[in-house]
Structure 1
Amino acid sequence: MRLSRFYSDHSDVFSPIDFVAGLNVVLAEIRLPENQQRDTHNLGKSTLGRLLDFGFLAGKDPKFFLFRYPQFNVFTFFLEVELEDGTFLTIRRGVADATRIAFKKAVVGQQDFSTLAERNWDHWDVPFDRAKDLLDSLLDWRALKPWGYRKGLGYFLRSQDDFRDVFQLRRFANAHADWKPFLAHLLGFDGDLVTQHYAKEDELAEKVRIEQTIQNELGGTVVDVSKVEGMLLLKQQDLDRKQERLDAFDFRTDDKAQTRALVDEVDQRIAQLNGRRYTLQANRKKIDQSLKEDQILFNPDEAREMFAQAGVLFEGQIKRDFDQLISFNRAITEERQGYLEEERAEIDVELKAVNAELTALGKRRSETLRALSDTDAFLRYKRMSAETVTLRADITSLERQRGHLRRLQELRHDIRTLAAEHGALQELIEQDVEAQNREPTSRFSQIRLFFNEIIEDVLDRKALLNVFPNTKGHLEFRAEILDEGGNATSADMGFTYRKLLCVAFDLAVLRVHLGDRFPRFAYHDGVLESLDDRKKELLLSVLRAYADRGLQSIITLIDSDLPKRAEGDAVFEDAEVIVRLHDEGEPGRLFRMPSW
């Protein structure tokens, strides 16, 4: 499929563009001296690619100039393409009604259907989504299936923004799962495996997320299902017994249980706590006494005065020894007091806890004794009914917990299964990549050779197209220029060389699909910019060689980017220049109208 014609219903403003089978050049000439040093000239050189994309039913982008500026609402554009069978298809799309499309097939190309009556179109006023499906079937790019025609269109309508990366186009700014499976398919790998791998990874991640949510609902701790089942069994048995006694209005068993609990649990625990409280209080009293006694009562000054009255000399060595002894004892005393105060603080904390528990047990003992001494059967019935309500609430909570735990078990089983399937897909991808790399006649190997051939013809350097799975099983794509030793260099990082890598990649893919139902055109904007003259000549030779193979190439450039030639020696033949723009007013622009 090649481009044949692009025109509008306002030919006085936008002249029809007729494409040729080989090399097509959109040439912008800078004739005014004051414009020679400008970076942009607003002539429309780079606009044609976006107009072609519009004709191929690109989505409605409010930032696109056709929709942004109201003066274009009156335009209707027509894109004519030559199909595989030699017939011609015209796609009609207006700006004001951009979501209503018309189609017409013809046996003769480069016609003007801008005034064709509605009844003479094969399909008229087709809704946008339906129109894309219809165009997909009419173009019949089978080699792209199961993806639609627009998925790979960006590789063959390269704008300046699409030269930033060889593989990831501007329209592929989404997750890798959106474009890597398609690119793998384009290069001859099993794209379906890559799609399944991403889908399985997403499914696995979702299961893990749900598992974490359930764990959070369980409070972050996972209890064994067996334990929950056992607790449920005991609670249910207790409930059944209480309900049976309630139905029989019999509280004797309950009285026995309460008496046994009072004697075996409450009273015994109260006795233990009282003993512990006595011990703690006794220890605290001893600590208080020790803190009072740990005081140094000897005063050297008073001793000196007493010795003086007795006529004994106290100054000198004796006083120094006493001072040192007092300092030593004071240090020991302070350290001991610190430990005693820490111990007292710990005793106070434990005493507080013991007193609180004794208070609670005393309350429970009082309530139990009151219940046992209560002769009102109605009050006992109410009390036991409340206990059954509590039991039912506990059972409901346990059943909910059991449900979460069972769901957690199912999820973990699913996670193990998905992880195994994910790993199996990763292994299949690795095997597929290895097989395609190893086989010299595979599609990928052929693209590799064509890609290197183009770079070598232009730069006299080898280039390597590399595809490999990373540690997660995701495919990575690399395009690198090699040095003399076969090592990757940083040359491909510059914008000029990266643009050249993009062109080489697109042409290599087109060439390997020459025998398939596949696009046979490539549009590259500003392809010669920043290259030296020799490389420009070599690249043009490559483009013409590929045109001879049946590939239609459309390039745009400014005349200052043309390689220098001898006087009168033109770079392009007149038939190759399909659009000639210049900066001498509106007649030289793509749209012969004031700038917007």
Structure 2
Amino acid sequence: MKLSRLYSNKPDIFGPIEFRAGLNVVLAEIRVPKNKDKDTHNLGKTTLGRMIDFCFLAGRDKDFFLFKQEDAFKDFIFFLEIGLSDATYLTVRRGVSEHTKISFKKHEAAHQDFTDLTEADWDHFNLSFDRAREMLDGLLDWRAVSPWDFRKGLGYQLRGQDDYQDVFQLRRFAIGKHKDWKPYVAHILGFDHKLIEEYYSKLEELEDKKAIAQTVQAELGGSVDDLSKIEGILLLKQKDADKKQQLLDAFDFREQDKDQTEKLVEGINARVAELNARRYSLHQARRKIVTSLEEDQILFKPDQAEKLFNEVGILFSGQIKKDFSQLIAFNRAITEERRGYLQEERTEIEAELKTVAEELDDLGKRRSGVLDFLSSTDVFAKYKQVTDDLVTLRADIATLEKQRGFLRRLQELRTEIRALTEACVHLQSQIETDVESQNTDKASLFSVIRVYFSEIIEEVLAHKALLSVSPNANGHLEFRAEILNEKGKATSADLGHTYRKLLCIAFDLAVLRAHIKDRFPHFVYHDGVFESLDDRKKVNLLKVIREYAELGVQSVITLIDSDMPPRVEAEVPVFSPDEIVLNLHDEGDKGRLFRMQVW
């Protein structure tokens, strides 16, 4: 399938472009000297690729110039004539104001003009956009890209300047996920795309299950994470609720009275006795501490002793007085430290006494309530209290049942997560086996493509190149295109924009050549193909493009005259007149793709 003709209903503004089966050159000439140093010239060589994409039913992009300047282009209708694999032709009609209404006409002869064709003469007129895409997919019949439709890989046939950043991941896939493009690239390279698609699907499902499990876990909060415990507690609560319901149904509170009595005797009174014993113990300990604090006083005073000894005629030397003072100071230091500890212990005891007192007060109130119940002769008061207890029990049961539901769902999710994890591991193993098989089989499609790829780079740069595909540690395929040095090791040359563009061009051509006998697109559009290359490499690349054109690959290349390859022979022009399908220039509106003022 190749491009045949692109035209519009306004040929004086957008003239017809007739494509050749082989090499097609869109040459932009910079004739005005002041424009030679500009990076962009707005002549339309890049726009042409976007117009072809528009006619291949690209979706509406508000930033696309046809829609951004809709007032200027609303009356335009564009026609793309496509050569099909059965030697017939298909014309696609699409307007700007009614861009979702598509018409088709299949015909035998090439280079037709259907601008004045009546509605009745179109095979399908003004189909809805989705229906038109579906029909165009069937008419093009690119079986080699199945199960995807014709739009999936069209970007590899229409490489704009923004699509040279990565050999494999086009600009349109930059904000998406790897699952959006890796299975397709793997497929056209000869790998089992079904394994890769299933792997991504299982991974997504696994992540979704993990996220749901985290949500369920959060719903449980800090509650019991053991279904057996929940079931046990729920069973006891339900039995208690059943018992109380039976009491209410029978209007008989003898059993309830018995339960309350047992609670009083076995529970409240036992705890009160325990707390009273503890309070007595604490009081005794506090009394001892207070006594110790009072006793820790030094009553001996050296000055008074010296005066007394003088009165009775006993010599009290200064040294003896000094020794007594030091002893007292030492004892005082020890006493102060001991008093500190005693004070801390006293504070703790008083705090605990306060806690014990508060709990005893609470128990006293509870005991009073139970005694009131037992002594009450009002059966309705007892009925109300039992009812309140039953309501509380049922609320607890409802909460437990909810927790049980969460736990059961969590267990199911964990089972599913384990199964998905095992499935992912199994798929990883299958992918690794498939990749190894395609890499080692010299006759595989991938091996053929990588040979073509390396040959192109070697012919242009005099260096071999390596196209490689391998799964990483997470099971995802990694695609690499690298230039090799003399020792066969990857160099950093492919990191530069110029060499990265060469790798993209070589990849596109190699894939097209490998699929030349398949129901596959057989054209490619490369914008600014010679930009930044030195003259020798331009000559080499042009030679490769011509060789591939002879093999059946239709190339549409764009360039400005300053990027023109040098002549191999002085008397022979670089491009023959029939190879130049569109000549643009900067001398007024007539030189642009759209012969109108710049929008």
TM range (shorter): over 0.9
Q: 2:172 maps to which residue?
A: 171
- Greater shift, 223-232 or 17-26, is seen at 223-232
Counterpart of 1:579 in 2: which secondary structure? Answer: strand
- Greater shift, 377-386 or 519-528, is seen at 377-386
1:78 and 2:48 correspond = no
1:440 and 2:442 correspond = yes
Q: 2:552 maps to which residue?
A: 550
How much does 1:369 deviate? 0.8
Q: 2:7 maps to which residue?
A: 7
For 1:419-568, list aligned pairs within 5 A.
Answer: 419-565=421-567, 567-568=570-571
- Greater shift, 99-108 or 293-302, is seen at 293-302
For 1:325-474, list aligned pairs within 5 A.
Answer: 326=329, 336=338, 339-340=341-342, 342-474=344-476
1:593 and 2:596 correspond = yes
- The alpha-carbon distance between structure 1 residues 233 and 116, as it changes in their structure 2 partners (threshold 3 A), is same
Are the counterparts in 2 of residues 308 and 314 from structure 1 also a CA contact under 8 Å?
A: no
How many residue pairs match? The answer is 594
Q: Which amino acid aligns with 1:33?
A: P
- The alpha-carbon distance between structure 1 residues 339 and 38, as it changes in their structure 2 partners (threshold 3 A), is farther
- The alpha-carbon distance between structure 1 residues 456 and 274, as it changes in their structure 2 partners (threshold 3 A), is same
Q: Which amino acid aligns with 2:408?
A: R
For 1:281-296, list aligned pairs within 5 A.
Answer: 281-287=283-289
Counterpart of 1:188 in 2: which secondary structure? Answer: coil
Q: Which amino acid aligns with 1:579?
A: L
Are the counterparts in 1 of residues 460 and 541 from structure 2 also a CA contact under 8 Å?
A: yes
- The alpha-carbon distance between structure 1 residues 475 and 353, as it changes in their structure 2 partners (threshold 3 A), is farther
Q: 2:91 maps to which residue?
A: 90
- The alpha-carbon distance between structure 1 residues 264 and 182, as it changes in their structure 2 partners (threshold 3 A), is same
How much does 1:98 deviate? 0.8
- Greater shift, 101-110 or 203-212, is seen at 203-212
- The alpha-carbon distance between structure 1 residues 275 and 87, as it changes in their structure 2 partners (threshold 3 A), is same
Q: Which amino acid aligns with 1:93?
A: R
**CA offsets 1:98-152 (integer angstroms, 9 cap, x no match):** 1111111110011111121111111111111111111101100001111010000
Q: 1:31 maps to which residue?
A: 31
Distance across 2 between alignment mates of 1:365 and 1:100: 86
Counterpart of 2:59 in 1: which secondary structure? Answer: coil
**CA offsets 1:65-98 (integer angstroms, 9 cap, x no match):** 1111121112111111100001111111111111
How much does 1:220 deviate? 3.5
Q: Which amino acid aligns with 1:44?
A: G
Are the counterparts in 1 of residues 23 and 554 from structure 2 also a CA contact under 8 Å?
A: yes
Are the counterparts in 1 of residues 275 and 360 from structure 2 also a CA contact under 8 Å?
A: yes
- The alpha-carbon distance between structure 1 residues 58 and 229, as it changes in their structure 2 partners (threshold 3 A), is same
TM-score (norm 2): 0.93
Counterpart of 1:24 in 2: which secondary structure? Answer: strand
Are the counterparts in 2 of residues 307 and 314 from structure 1 also a CA contact under 8 Å?
A: no
TM-score (norm 1): 0.93
Q: Which amino acid aligns with 1:151?
A: K
Query: Which of 249, 252, 270 is residue 247 of structure 1 equivalent to?
Result: 249
- Greater shift, 353-362 or 41-50, is seen at 353-362
1:570 and 2:537 correspond = no
How much does 1:235 deviate? 2.1
- The alpha-carbon distance between structure 1 residues 296 and 198, as it changes in their structure 2 partners (threshold 3 A), is farther
Distance across 2 between alignment mates of 1:68 and 1:291: 94
**CA offsets 1:261-298 (integer angstroms, 9 cap, x no match):** 11111101011112222333443454456566667888
Distance across 1 between alignment mates of 2:504 and 2:458: 14
**CA offsets 1:496-540 (integer angstroms, 9 cap, x no match):** 000000001111111111111000001011111111111111100
How much does 1:377 deviate? 1.7
Distance across 2 between alignment mates of 1:334 and 1:318: 22
Q: CA RMSD in A?
A: 2.6
Q: Which amino acid aligns with 1:174?
A: G
**CA offsets 1:214-268 (integer angstroms, 9 cap, x no match):** 2111123443222222222222222222222322222222212211111111101
How much does 1:355 deviate? 2.8
Distance across 2 between alignment mates of 1:12 and 1:303: 133
How much does 1:362 deviate? 1.3
- The alpha-carbon distance between structure 1 residues 222 and 377, as it changes in their structure 2 partners (threshold 3 A), is closer
Distance across 1 between alignment mates of 2:244 and 2:29: 100
- The alpha-carbon distance between structure 1 residues 504 and 298, as it changes in their structure 2 partners (threshold 3 A), is farther
1:580 and 2:583 correspond = yes
- The alpha-carbon distance between structure 1 residues 39 and 336, as it changes in their structure 2 partners (threshold 3 A), is farther
How much does 1:351 deviate? 3.5
Q: 1:124 maps to which residue?
A: 125
Distance across 2 between alignment mates of 1:60 and 1:254: 76
Q: Which amino acid aligns with 1:67?
A: F
For 1:53-202, list aligned pairs within 5 A.
Answer: 53-69=53-69, 70-172=71-173, 173-202=175-204
Instruction: Mark the runs of 5 or more structure 1 residues left unpaired by the alignment.
Output: none
Are the counterparts in 1 of residues 43 and 584 from structure 2 also a CA contact under 8 Å?
A: yes
Counterpart of 1:89 in 2: which secondary structure? Answer: strand
**CA offsets 1:283-342 (integer angstroms, 9 cap, x no match):** 345445656666788899999999999996759x9869957984x667656655554455
- The alpha-carbon distance between structure 1 residues 348 and 106, as it changes in their structure 2 partners (threshold 3 A), is farther
Are the counterparts in 1 of residues 464 and 485 from structure 2 also a CA contact under 8 Å?
A: yes
Q: 1:257 maps to which residue?
A: 259
